[in-house]
Every structure is written in C-alpha cells, then in structure tokens.
Structure 1
C-alpha cells in the first residue's frame, strides 16, 4: 500500500489502509468483474474449474479464522488462516476467481468471537470447505463456462460433495483415498423376495461384494502416459484406470453402502512407490489418455496460489477482521487477473512467458495491440483497455 499511496495519495497512507480494512464497500461487484474478464480470457468447454484451498501463516489468535490447521504450503499443521479458492484454468493458465475464509471449529462454535471479528450475521458459521465451494459454484453459474470441476482429496472424499456436483449436471475429477470402496460396473441389486421367513430385509442385496479401489487397480495393467508438455520436456507418469460403481448409495442393515453412480477410479504411481487415487465421472467410453490429462490439470491452481502470494501480496495482509481480509483478497484477485491479461494479450517476449494456444485464440477474437498503447489507472481495478 505504501508505494501505491506514494503515487496517488502522497502523505495519506492511512486512507488506503482505511479503504481496505474498514471502508464498508461490497466485494460482489469486483468479484463479478473478475469473473467476467476471466470468462473472456479462458472460459469455454476446454476450461476447468479447480476447487482447492490456500493458507496464510499467522501468529497470535485474534485474526479472523486463525487456528491450528493443516497448511499445504508449510506441509504440516500450523497456526494459519485457510481460504477456499475457486480457479478457472485452461492450457496451464490459472485465473483465481474467489477466495473465501473457512472458519475452523474453535471459531464456528464461538458466536461471540465471530461477532468481534466482524463475521457477517448471515454467514453460515459451521460450513465445511466443500459447502463453501458449492456456494461459490452456484454463484458463478451463468457467468463462467467450463467443462470439468477438479478438486483434491480433501474435497473428493465426501460423497455428499460428489453427489452435489452430479446433481448440478457437472463433470468432475477429484482426489480420494485408497480405502474408497467400489463395486464392479456390472453389479446389480437382488430384489427383496415377496415371501420371506422371519423379518424381511429393508434393502436389496448387491450381486457383488464391494472392495477398495487399491485392490481393484492392483489387478489392472499400469501404463505410462504423457500428461503434459513441460518447459523441460514431456511429463510422463504411470497410471491405471477402471470404470466401476461407487459404494456411496444408501446404507443397508449391515452398514454397507449400496452401489451409487458410475465413475472411473484412477491410480497414479509416484516416486518411492507412493500412489495417488482419483475418481472421475466421465462416461465409460472416455479415452484413457484423456482421463489422465484432465485429472492432472489440477496442478495449475498451485501456480495461481503461488502468484497470489509472491506477485500481488495475498499473504501480506495484517488486519484482523473479516471485511478487511476479503477486501484484500478480492483486490489481489483483480491484480493477478490484470497480470494474466497482460501476459496473454501482449506480443511474444514483452511480458514474460505465455501459452501459445490460448493466445492464438484471443488474437483471433480481438486484434492485438502494441504494449505501449495500454491505458490503465495504477490505483483502479478497472484496468483493462481490451474489450
């Protein structure tokens, strides 16, 4: 804020501090601008919407939502704030659209503490991360176009989350754990007989037993697939996949879940015999290589998180209240969006690395102009000279 104040409001640094932390402006309008511009740059059936979270390391206990929770950046449980992120990505280019604070249990069960930190009364306090993500997906409906929703195992292990995505008509690929139970794709339900001695069962019986995806994929052949062309050459991994029925239907009398929707289970062999597992509800006729390429696109949100922190200062916020944190977050989203627009719209070599496939499409839609003709205000979020 200090360099910004030096340009637009010399000697009044406190006014910009007030604008971010205390001024009662609403973030919805700026969020809509970010979504509209992101749709113009990346939106379409070839894009993916990535759900993840990113953490801001903190000291003390008064910053809203701070608590001891897992931080992927640190790689362990630490004192931090956790923001649920929604990112639009295509051809390795990420544009984060939303950042919403998650309240851990020590906050969500303490109404007085939330009031002191300025948490809005209408905010559902005891929301899980996947419930926050679903609300943002619903809010973006009609604004953003994409072909798939991607998420890591922190979201993918929830059958309710997966069902909610399917009910919204969305295709998804999510991480999961090796103990996720599944049925063979040809499983059927044996109906309850009309005449039964003793107490009749309340649920039909599956014709096959459920087993873990680890055991299912151990019987499959593992293949090497190139899933992305990296800057230092092709990225190749070893994968296996099988189409199954997920064991996430109604629970029967024996505590077993009945067959649910059909989905692919995908395994990835990593270094030191480590394996990662994924679920994907693409149709059974989907090509093996396409399954892998779609699933591995989730990595691009990590690049977006890194740039939010390193390029535009997401983790520099020093306020404590809910409103200030979300003001700061949405301004960071707008700033990073502007940087991505510059990278995509300028001639080669003038502004960092670019992705040719996206740039060619943008160049076909709008004429490309020299960088010297860009007109923008350094203190305003309406930064775009393009359409």
Structure 2
C-alpha cells in the first residue's frame, strides 16, 4: 500500500466521522480503522493501540466497548458508500454466515455450532453476513450475531453479555437475514438479485419473504425438497363417502428435487474466467412448482404440501462427483448460462469473509459483549469498503492508462498507415 493511504483514509471517512456527531468519537473512528488497515498481524485493541501514538488503549477500548453512541448512522453511511462502489441493477445481494472460533463460554453467542470454514462443529460465534457485490468486487454491508438456544433460553446470560432487550429473542438465521435485507432496501441500495446457500434457501418462509418483497432470487436447496412438475393440475375429487372435500389437491405426487432432475439432460456450462481458465460444471434445469404451500390430506391418506409458484429448479454436477441443487424465480426465459452465472456468483462472499479475517482481524476481537463485537465488526466492514474503493480506483487508473496507450498506439498506426498510403500512391498519380 502506498504512503498516502492514511491521508486518503481520513478523507474517505469524512461521512462516517460526521455521522458520529462528536469530536472525540470522530477522532476514534479513523484511529480504529487505521489500526485495522495498517501493518501488524494482530488486530485486537491492545496491539493496535501499541502501534500508534495518537490514541491510547483506554480510548480505543472505551470507543468500541462502552462508549455511548449509535451505530445505525455509521451503518447507513456504509450502505451509501457500498452503493457508490458496486450498487446497480446488475449487483448481487449475497446472504451467508461466517464463524469466529472462540474458546470458553462467556463471549456473546459462543456455543458449539457448525463452522463452514472449518467444515465441522466447533465452539464459535456465528454471524449472518450481507454482501453487496458487482463485477466480482464484494463489499460487506452487514454482520449480525446469531444467538443459539443455549443463549436465548438464558436471560441472565444474555444480560451479562449486554444483549439489548429487543434482541433477547430466538431468531433463525433466515429471519435475521430478512431483517438485514429490509434494512438494505430501506436505505435505497441498488441490487438486482438475492443469493444465498441452502441454509437459507431451504427455508420456505425465507423464499416467500423475498418474493413478497418483489425481489429476484437464486438460492441453494436441499436435494430432498419435494417439487411438482410445472404442469401439475389441481383437481377437486368428489368424495364417494363421508364429508365433501374442502380443498383442491394436485393430480400427481411430488418428488424430491434430486429425482425430478435425474433424467434431465445435463450440459457443460461455463460461467466466468478463472485464474486457470474458464470455470465450468454440468448443469440441468427444469421449471417446477415447489411443494411449500398449505398442507392437505390426499385421497390416499397422505399429508402433502400444495404446489407453490412456478420457479426454476437447477442441478449442478461437479467434477468431484458432488451434486448441488438450487431454486430461482428468475424469468421463465432465462437461459441455463444465466442461471449458472447467478448461482455461482455467491462465491465472492467467501472471499470477503476470508479477507475480513486475514487482512482486517474480524475474528481478533477479544471482548465479550454484544455491543463491542458488533462495533468491531462494523469497523472491519468500513475498513474493507475503504480498501475496495482504493482497489477500484487503482483498477480504473490502470484501465484508463491502457486505453490511453491503446489510443496512442492506434493513432500512431493510423498515421503510419496514412503516410504509407500517400507514399505508395504518389508515383502512381505522377505516372498518369
């Protein structure tokens, strides 16, 4: 990083400092973010304070852990900057979660939970993440702690960790995600489609909440999810005995997503250029209706969910033999390449998680409180947005330089070509 990054940071943070509306706090924010961006392996408060002469450990600790200030204006400022950097109709809003491994049991939200980064259950904190991304550039805009039952069933434990009263309730990760999506929508951030893995996409209420908000989405799905063919019909069979039926029923049984695509044609589809060439997998897609409507008893006694809206069911076969399933409400005329590109765009949030941890110390916070953890997470997201702004600016300068060089070379070529034409044509004209 060049020597001017600190001056650039001070200028870039002006909207955030203004949002704090307090002279001392407005000084702490740049100091904390500079500590995250600057050199040093450990990005917890004590080593960051030791690397600067501008603020003390006590000042930074108070700012993050116990200072009386509202994070909402800074979160709003982050959304504004993210929209400037990558917002637009072609942007993705990516929902995922990330785990922060922890020892002990006192840090807020810590419990044995599945950590995707580790591929196993571990003692950790789990945060629902929201990433705005475009042109393969991610900007993290939301990190919210998920509280497992061992916490929500223990009010005293939550009170000791400073969990706000309005957050001392049991919420699933999909429910937290919808809250965050509403916050993003309210801010006016522009995006075209919501992406999520099967941890969210397998939730019928989550998908329905997205559709109710008029959003396009492409999400992971359990292979066991029951689906109907798109041409399923609802009939109203006449009961031979007993009471009349009150509801229509489908004219065929639902089958699993895996079974629905088993006999489909699987095509090799490439969706983007990777570092080692074009990335590709085998995909199959079919229009279906998910079995996620009201549940009714069929004429044979089975209880079955009714067909929902028509959507795309997509299957992916990887070179390892692993198979994944997805569902999307993208238009019926979407191509399989469009579906694959949307599904695979989710990978960029994994890059953001990794960079926030490795470069900015997202998982280095040593406090135990709800407020401290979320403020530290917010500062890492602000720092990440700053770095992305510099990377985009540098990429823009490089493109401009390449265009300028190309234009100059083209002009030289044209001039040389023109001279050549004039030189070769003169004798011919003289000969006439």
TM-score interval for Structure 1 and Structure 2 normalised by the shorter chain? 0.7 to 0.9
1:300 aligns with 2:348: yes
Match of 2:89 among 36, 45, 49: 45
Normalization by structure 2: what TM-score?
0.78
- Alpha-carbon distance, 1:286 to partner: 0.9
Cα separation, 1, equivalents of 2:266 and 2:303:
33
Aligned to 1:288: 336
Cα separation, 2, equivalents of 1:171 and 1:41:
21
1:97 aligns with 2:141: yes
Query: After alignment, is 339-348 or 287-296 more displaced?
Result: 339-348
Name the SS of the counterpart of 2:333 in structure 1: coil
Aligned to 1:71: 115
Query: After alignment, is 53-62 or 115-124 more displaced?
Result: 115-124
- Alpha-carbon distance, 1:196 to partner: 5.4
Matches for 1:160-309 after TM superposition, within 5 Å: 160-191=205-236, 193=238, 197-253=241-297, 254-309=302-357
Do the aligned residues in 1 keep the contact of 2:158 with 2:168 (CA within 8 Å)? no
- Alpha-carbon distance, 1:200 to partner: 2.0
- Alpha-carbon distance, 1:192 to partner: 5.0
Do the aligned residues in 2 keep the contact of 1:314 with 1:329 (CA within 8 Å)? yes
Query: After alignment, is 66-75 or 117-126 more displaced?
Result: 117-126
Match of 1:55 among 99, 105, 109: 99
Matches for 1:141-160 after TM superposition, within 5 Å: 141-142=185-186, 143-160=188-205
Match of 1:312 among 342, 357, 360: 360
Structure number with higher helix proportion: 2
- Alpha-carbon distance, 1:9 to partner: 2.5
Cα separation, 2, equivalents of 1:272 and 1:301:
22
Runs of 4+ in structure 1 displaced over 3 angstroms? 1-8, 347-350
Do the aligned residues in 1 keep the contact of 2:138 with 2:348 (CA within 8 Å)? yes
Cα separation, 1, equivalents of 2:134 and 2:396:
19
User: Gaps spanning 5+ residues in structure 2: where?
Assistant: 1-44, 404-432
Do the aligned residues in 2 keep the contact of 1:156 with 1:176 (CA within 8 Å)? yes
User: Gaps spanning 5+ residues in structure 1: where?
Assistant: 351-355, 361-387
Do the aligned residues in 2 keep the contact of 1:202 with 1:252 (CA within 8 Å)? no
Cα separation, 1, equivalents of 2:99 and 2:351:
14
- Alpha-carbon distance, 1:208 to partner: 2.1
Cα separation, 1, equivalents of 2:97 and 2:87:
21
Match of 2:129 among 78, 81, 85: 85
Cα separation, 2, equivalents of 1:177 and 1:129:
16
- Alpha-carbon distance, 1:197 to partner: 3.4
Q: What RMSD in Å do the two structures reach over aligned CA positions?
A: 1.9
- Alpha-carbon distance, 1:64 to partner: 0.3
User: For each residue in 1:165-190, what CA deviation from the matched residue of structure 2 results, as whole angstroms up to 9, or x when unmatched?
Assistant: 10010111111111111111011110
1:335 aligns with 2:380: no
Do the aligned residues in 1 keep the contact of 2:94 with 2:349 (CA within 8 Å)? yes
